[in-house]
Amino acid sequence: KNIQMLKCLSKRSKNSLNGTFRAIRSIYKRSEQCNAYVPIVIENSPNEGSRGFDIYSRLLRERIICLHGPITEEMSSVVTAQLLFLESENPDKPINMYINSPGGIVTGGLAIYDTMQYIKPNICTVCMGQAASMGSLLLTAGTKGMRFILPHAKVMLHQPSGGAHGMASDIAIAAEEILKTRSILNSLYVHHTGQRIEEIEKVMDRDTYFDAKKSVEFGVVDQLLEKRSGDGEK
């Protein structure tokens, strides 16, 4: 239906439409692989004809990044690329990151975290749904004063988990490495929340859930956001 609609939109810009068709077919192929439907946004331009964007690409033009789902190495690659791209576009304009994630791979999450701290633009983080495990670190890693949570979202903190198998010496090395990772994560939470290390270690020892108000009190975020302001902010 989308392709039929595009064919009727403009006969003046055949090259532009052909590019749009290829983009849409590519998007449909990706969405079928992940069993998700990705909406298409159609834009009409007097000079360029009609163009189709997947919704995430269109939001990226507004400097909005959606970090939704488990944090994998593939997601990390995409999000870090988006951050670097938006910095190159305008290093002085804030980036908005909407987070709804159960967490995931620590190395992938730390790659996103380091990139957030590395680039120049301020980063506004918003928790919608949940920010658990590594997702909670990325939430609190936003620019101070620009970290928000929606009313029914929740945050979960816990220590990293992992498994090891093989020779005893390799298992010992893996155990030592995960303890180092836990220490690094604890220090990052101390830095961003303002809590004492003893409190962070206590909270991180087991799965600890915070509702929106408790997340603000603990310092994971700065403010509970119920309604977008009317001044045009994202």
Conformational region of residue 101, where left means phi above 0, alpha means psi within -120 to 50, and beta covers everything else: beta
158 catalytic? Reply is yes
Output the CA–CA distances (angstroms, integers) from residue 92 to 22, 58, 77, 141, in the order listed. Answer: 34, 20, 23, 18
Q: Where are the beta strands (DSSP E) in 133-212?
A: 147-149, 154-157, 208-210
Q: Which two tokens stand for residue 186?
A: 């604890």
Backbone angles phi, psi at 129, to 5 degrees: 85, -85
Which of 13, 16, 50, 133 does the annotation list as catalytic?
133
> How far is Cα of residue 48 from the mean position of the Cα atoms in its chain?
31
Q: Could you say which DSSP state residue 38 is in?
A: -
Is 169 annotated in the active site? Answer: no
Handedness of CA 186, 188, 191, 193 (dihedral sign): negative
Burial class (CB in 10 A: 0-12, 13-18, 19+), 86: buried
Q: Which residues are catalytic?
A: 133, 158
